[in-house]
């Protein structure tokens, strides 16, 4: 997908009309898989980590490309998902392989230092990578972060059951149908239509995401990505001792935690990350849900610009 002409308010509140920058696509051999990567823009490099863990980068576009006016954006589909699914066995995908893949992406683009921007599940990958390779990361941008501990994940499930019991029951009913189990795109879309409805402040943006996801679903892709998600769940949120928060107290990387006041993940998840990382700031955007880049693209751009301009890149020995 190529971002077309964009009309709107720029980071400084000025009206602009921007032709899309050239999009460059490639495949990166990471051993056992080829990762589809997409880059656009010039400037300081930002590797963008999509959420899921069963999604790919397509749901981030075209809105995230707004940042390409000032930054060199590098997206890639994580192993076993999207256009990085060919010849991948779900049982071979682990949290460790995802971190190793990210390091190989960095090496492929010859980046000495980089900013990591993770959305939702992508924030877990960003933080795990930063803990392992702190010397490589200049800034962390954690957008609508997923839980970083087993306790926060349990709190999320409890919150959903208490606030949306009817929706949870409807979602469970769909998940038990043969069509959903077989990866039928219509059934999967119906499932996510219920799942993501409370994740938005405005209906039109919700409908935009659902249409985008539906267009991207295929039976084969859904089943493989779902199996990958199950594997990664076992490495993270399903583990009784999963907890990144104590380790995050050692992170010296400037960090922006970006969330919305209509987030469907409990606010405590983002707050716990911001409290744990010493050099971090928490920004909560008004009238935004879990997909801040769709609902509030201009405030997101402004928050990132202000953060990058106002912080000194981390340098670690």
Residue 253 pLDDT more than 50? yes
Number of domains into which the chain is organized? 1
Residue 230 pLDDT more than 70? yes
Mean pLDDT confidence for 201-212: 91
Instruction: Residue 281: give its domain's CATH number.
Output: 3.40.50.1820
CB 55 within 8 A of CB 196: no
Mean pLDDT confidence for 23-51: 96
- CA 29, CA 1: separation in Å to the nearest integer? 22
pLDDT of residue 312: 67
Judge whether 317 lies within some domain. Answer: no
Measured in whole angstroms, how far is the alpha carbon of residue 269 from the centre of its chain? 15
Judge whether 73 lies within some domain. Answer: yes
User: Cβ of 52: how many Cβ atoms within 10 Å?
Assistant: 22
Residue 8 pLDDT more than 70? no
- CA 225, CA 54: separation in Å to the nearest integer? 5
Residue 14 pLDDT more than 90? no
pLDDT of residue 311: 78
Residue 313 pLDDT more than 80? no
Q: How confident is the model at residue 9 (pLDDT cuts 50, 70, 90)?
A: very low
Q: What is the pLDDT of residues 55-69, one digit of tens each?
A: 999 999 999 999 999
Q: How confident is the model at residue 203 (pLDDT cuts 50, 70, 90)?
A: confident
Mean pLDDT confidence for 32-43: 95
Task: Tell me the torsion sign for CA atoms 10, 260, 98, 224.
Answer: negative
Judge whether 315 lies within some domain. Answer: no
Both structure tokens of 15: 């009206």
Largest CA distance in the chain: 54
pLDDT of residue 298: 96
Both structure tokens of 43: 């400037």
Residue among 134, 181, 67 nearest 277 (CA): 134
DSSP letter for each residue of 64-106: GGGGGGTSEEEEEPPTTSGGG-TT--GGG--HHHHHHHHHHHH
Judge whether 35 lies within some domain. Answer: yes
Mean pLDDT confidence for 277-298: 96
Q: What is the pLDDT of residues 70-118, one digit of tens each?
A: 999 999 999 999 999 999 999 999 999 999 999 999 999 999 999 999 9
Percent of the chain with pLDDT over 70: 91
CB 220 within 8 A of CB 228: no
- CA 126, CA 116: separation in Å to the nearest integer? 6
Judge whether 13 lies within some domain. Answer: no
- CA 44, CA 254: separation in Å to the nearest integer? 15
Range of the domain at 264: 19-310
Both structure tokens of 136: 């490589």
- CA 47, CA 22: separation in Å to the nearest integer? 17
- CA 93, CA 216: separation in Å to the nearest integer? 22
What's the number of CA atoms in the CB half-sphere (13 Å) around residue 284?
A: 11
Q: What is the pLDDT of residues 107-159, one digit of tens each?
A: 999 999 999 999 999 999 999 999 999 999 999 999 999 999 999 999 999 99
Residue 46 pLDDT more than 90? yes
Judge whether 5 lies within some domain. Answer: no
Judge whether 4 lies within some domain. Answer: no
Q: What is the pLDDT of residues 167-186, one digit of tens each?
A: 999 999 999 999 999 999 99
Residue 4 pLDDT more than 50? no
Q: Which helix (DSSP H) or strand (DSSP E) does residue 34 occupy?
A: strand 34-40
Instruction: Give the contacts of 295 (CB within 8 A, at least 6 positions apart).
Output: 200, 201, 202, 205, 260, 287, 288, 289
Judge whether 224 lies within some domain. Answer: yes
Q: What is the pLDDT of residues 16-25, one digit of tens each?
A: 234 456 999 9
């Amino acid at each position: 997908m190529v971002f077309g002409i964009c009309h709107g308010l720029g980071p400084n509140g000025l009206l602009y009309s921007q032709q899309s920058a050239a999009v460059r696509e490639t495949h990166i051999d990471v051993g056992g898989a080829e990762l589809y990567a997409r880059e656009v823009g010039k400037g300081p490099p930002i590797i963008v980590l999509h959420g899921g863990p069963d999604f790919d980068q397509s749901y981030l576009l075209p809105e995230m490309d707004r940042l390409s006016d000032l930054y060199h954006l590098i997206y890639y589909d994580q192993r076993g998902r999207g256009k990085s699914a060919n010849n991948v066995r779900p049982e071979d995908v682990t949290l460790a392989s995802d971190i190793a893949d990210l390091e190989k992406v960095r090496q492929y683009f010859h980046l000495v230092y980089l900013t990591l921007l993770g959305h939702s599940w992508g924030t877990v990958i960003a933080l795990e990578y930063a803990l392992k390779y702190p010397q490589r990361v200049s800034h962390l941008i954690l957008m609508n972060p997923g839980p970083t501990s087993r306790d926060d994940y349990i709190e999320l499930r409890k919150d959903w059951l208490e606030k949306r019991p009817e929706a949870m029951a409807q979602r469970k009913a769909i998940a038990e149908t043969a069509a959903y189990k077989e990866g039928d795109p219509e059934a999967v879309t119906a499932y996510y239509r219920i799942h993501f409805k409370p994740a938005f402040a405005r209906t039109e943006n919700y409908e935009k995401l659902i249409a985008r996801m539906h267009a991207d679903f295929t039976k084969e892709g859904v089943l493989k990505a779902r199996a990958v998600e199950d594997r990664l769940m076992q490495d993270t949120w399903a583990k009784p001792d999963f907890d990144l928060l104590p380790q995050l107290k050692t992170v010296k990387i400037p960090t922006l935690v970006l969330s919305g006041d209509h987030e469907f993940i409990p606010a405590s998840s983002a707050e716990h990350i911001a409290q744990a990382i010493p050099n971090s700031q928490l920004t909560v955007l008004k009238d935004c849900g879990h997909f801040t880049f769709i609902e509030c693209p201009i405030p997101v751009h402004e928050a990132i610009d202000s953060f990058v301009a106002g912080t000194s890149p981390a340098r670690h020995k």
